[in-house]
């Protein structure tokens, strides 16, 4: 180019035949000078690579309080024991004790539960006929009298949860108390018949304890309830028809706290350690694991739970946002001017690459890089620390260092701000609606509150910028047994 200019300048204008020739040469010189002020820059495109981290969602422990009214067990027990409880209609049995006894249920049995077991008080009404009989020389002398009395038998049931979640109960006698002490006087002799209580207990202990154990198991079938919940909670819950948004639980461990008596209810808190995730699109596959994990004893559970929500900004939408803001914008530095004609973004490991096509003093595509971050205050994904990639920087230093000033980069930065707050809030509202009085089944009621949102990670994939969001809150599942 310099040689051409020198050659033209050395032309002897005096030798020009006409003034038109001079004008022609002048215009040619101006055109060449103008052409020399613009340059085409060819920069190698950075490689498109992705270092996608292994996705490890945070698990939660969901608290599932299981309860049954003690009064329900009591009522069922009372239905099984009615009328005559014990009947001894012979003087000769029990080693010729000369006593006949009948025992009726006096009133409803009463139940109570403390930390070491369930207690029962069983009031009975007694009819007792006792006396004496002597046979000598073919003559039999006897004297029998009748008396009514009242007694309360006591029992205690211990509970054990086995590894397979079966429920074992062991009921034992815990003594008795006379409500009215029977005294029988035959002639000058007082006949002590308080031993009747021991007779009744001995004769009925096995029957009563067995019936009590059966009544408790039938009304509080723990394994059945746990199995139902374990299966039900693995079924995806549709959160939104509009967005085809699903909530899915992947339970991993099941544990339980000891039984307690709380406000007249026999309660046990079950804890399911589970991963809670959201999916968009078709219903997630239901690979339901019906095998219950072994029972694990726990003292307490943390009521906080985490929903793992994956949000994303596709490169297509990022391109569109950037183009709306940048395409057609002109940057001027002194006499130099460039206009942005296109924007293309993609990933290079942990960095975002912004391919910017320019026209003007520089023609071609230059490349900038930056780090994607989530800004909590504005609920936006931004590209921070934007700078020219190494090759672009080297080329600019040689041919267009005027573009190296930070003003051009500052013009680029606002175009790479992608709001996702509305999307996250919409997702939060949809999930919250499904956590409020949601009857998963007739007996299982889901209730939860989402309290806050935090960003766990942000990374690049071949299709988009992924934002791993944690929605934290409290969640409980109530399971009420059928009455």
The stretches of 327-405 forming alpha helices (DSSP H) are: 390-399
Per-residue pLDDT tens over the stretch 402-455: 888 778 888 888 888 898 888 888 888 888 888 888 887 777 777 888 888 888
Residue 228 has pLDDT above 50, yes or no: yes
Which comes out higher in pLDDT, residue 9 or 427? Answer: 427
- Cα 384 from Cα 373, distance rounded (Å): 7
**Of the spans 149-158, 357-366, 437-446, which averages the highest pLDDT?**
357-366
Phi and psi at 212, nearest 5°, equal -65, -45
pTM of the model: 0.60
Q: What is the pLDDT of residue 459?
A: 92
- At 335, list the tokens: 């006499």
Average pLDDT over residues 207-229: 79
pLDDT digits 0-9 by tens, 172-214: 888 888 888 777 666 665 666 667 777 777 777 787 788 788 8
Report the half-sphere exposure of 78 (CA within 13 A, side-chain side).
14
Q: What is the pLDDT of residues 56-93, one digit of tens each?
A: 888 888 877 777 788 887 888 788 788 888 888 887 77
Closest CA to 199 of 122, 103, 107: 103
Q: Distance between CA 78 and CA 107 in Å, rounded? A: 9
> Residue 18 has what DSSP assignment?
S
Q: What is the distance between the alpha carbons of residues 148 and 90, in angstroms, rounded to a whole number? A: 17
From residue 371, give the alpha-carbon distance in Å to each of 8, 170, 387, 413, 465.
51, 65, 10, 11, 11
How far is residue 340 CA from its own chain's centroid? 47
Question: How does residue 4 score in pLDDT terms, banded at 50, 70 and 90?
Answer: very low
Residue 152 has pLDDT above 80, yes or no: yes
CB 269 within 8 A of CB 290: no
- H-only helix segments in 10-125: 19-37, 70-80, 93-96
What is the average per-residue pLDDT within 216-229? 78
pLDDT tens profile 82-123: 888 888 888 777 677 777 888 899 998 888 887 668 888 889
pLDDT value of residue 367: 95
Bridge partners for 274 per DSSP: 60, 251
- Taking the CA atoms of residue 277, residue 283, residue 285 and residue 291 in that order, the dihedral angle to the nearest 10 degrees is 70
Mean predicted lDDT score pLDDT of the chain = 80
Neighbours of 264 (CB within 10 A): 11
Calculate ∠ Cα 432-298-265, nearest 5°.
Answer: 70
Res 472 pLDDT > 60: yes
Q: In this model, does residue 6 exceed pLDDT 50?
A: no
Q: What are phi and psi of 90, to 5 degrees?
A: -140, 140
| Alpha-helical segments (H) within 38-190 | 70-80, 93-96
What pLDDT is recorded for position 29? 46
CB neighbour list of residue 121: distance below 8 Å, 6 or more residues apart: 109, 110, 152, 153, 154
Give me the residue spans of the domains in the chain. Answer: 39-69+221-483, 81-220
CB 354 within 8 A of CB 368: yes
**Statement: residue 300 has pLDDT above 90:** no
Q: If we measure between CA atoms, which residue out of 224, 222, 290 comes closest to residue 256?
A: 222
* Tokens (6 digits) for 36: 């020399």
- For residue 414, the model assigns a pLDDT of 87
How far is Cα 184 from Cα 190, in angstroms, rounded to an integer?
6
pLDDT at 482: 58
Using an 8 Å Cβ cutoff, are 357 and 364 in contact?
yes
Arithmetic mean of pLDDT, 43-47: 90
């Amino acid at each position: 180019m310099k040689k051409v200019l020198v050659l033209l300048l050395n032309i002897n204008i005096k030798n020009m035949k006409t003034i038109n020739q001079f004008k022609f040469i002048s215009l040619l010189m101006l055109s060449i000078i103008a052409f020399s002020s613009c340059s085409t820059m060819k920069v190698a495109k950075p490689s498109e690579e992705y270092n996608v981290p292994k996705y490890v969602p945070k698990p939660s422990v969901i608290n599932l309080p299981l309860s049954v009214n003690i009064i329900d067990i009591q009522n069922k027990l009372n239905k099984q024991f009615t009328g005559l409880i014990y009947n001894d209609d012979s003087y000769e049995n029990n080693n010729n004790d000369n006593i006949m006894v009948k025992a009726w249920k006096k009133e409803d049995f009463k139940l109570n539960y403390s930390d070491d077991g369930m207690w029962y008080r069983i009031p009975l009404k007694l009819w007792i006929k006792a006396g004496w009989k002597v046979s000598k020389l073919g003559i039999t002398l006897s004297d029998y009298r009748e008396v009514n009395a009242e007694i309360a038998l006591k029992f205690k049931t211990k509970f054990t949860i086995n590894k397979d979640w079966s429920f074992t109960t062991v009921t034992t006698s815990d003594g008795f108390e006379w409500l009215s002490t029977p005294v029988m006087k035959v002639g000058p002799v007082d006949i002590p018949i308080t031993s009747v209580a021991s007779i009744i207990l001995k004769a009925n202990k096995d029957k009563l304890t067995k019936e009590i154990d059966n009544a408790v198991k039938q009304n509080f079938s723990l394994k059945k309830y746990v199995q139902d919940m374990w299966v039900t909670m693995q079924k995806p819950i549709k959160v939104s028809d509009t967005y085809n948004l699903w909530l899915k639980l992947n339970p991993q461990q099941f544990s339980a706290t000891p039984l307690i008596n709380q406000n007249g209810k026999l309660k046990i808190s079950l804890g399911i350690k589970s991963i809670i995730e959201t999916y968009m699109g078709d219903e997630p596959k239901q690979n339901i694991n019906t095998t219950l994990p072994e029972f694990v004893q726990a003292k307490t559970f943390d009521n906080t739970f985490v929903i793992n929500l994956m949000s994303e900004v596709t490169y297509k939408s990022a391109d569109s946002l950037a183009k709306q803001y940048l395409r057609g914008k002109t940057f001027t530095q002194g006499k130099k001017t460039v206009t942005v004609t296109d924007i293309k973004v993609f990933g290079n490991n942990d960095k975002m690459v912004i391919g910017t096509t320019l026209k003007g003093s520089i023609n071609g595509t230059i490349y900038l890089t930056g780090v994607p971050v989530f800004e909590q205050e504005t609920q936006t994904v931004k590209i921070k620390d934007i700078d020219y990639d190494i090759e672009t920087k080297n080329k600019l230093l040689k041919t267009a260092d005027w573009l190296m000033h930070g003003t051009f980069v500052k013009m680029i930065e606002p175009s790479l701000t992608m709001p996702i707050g509305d999307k996250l809030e919409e997702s939060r509202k949809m999930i919250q609606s499904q956590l409020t009085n949601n009857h998963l089944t007739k007996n299982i009621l889901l209730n939860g509150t989402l309290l806050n949102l935090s960003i766990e990670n942000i990374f690049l994939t071949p299709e988009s910028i992924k934002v791993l969001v944690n929605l934290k809150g409290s969640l409980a599942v109530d399971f009420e047994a059928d009455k």
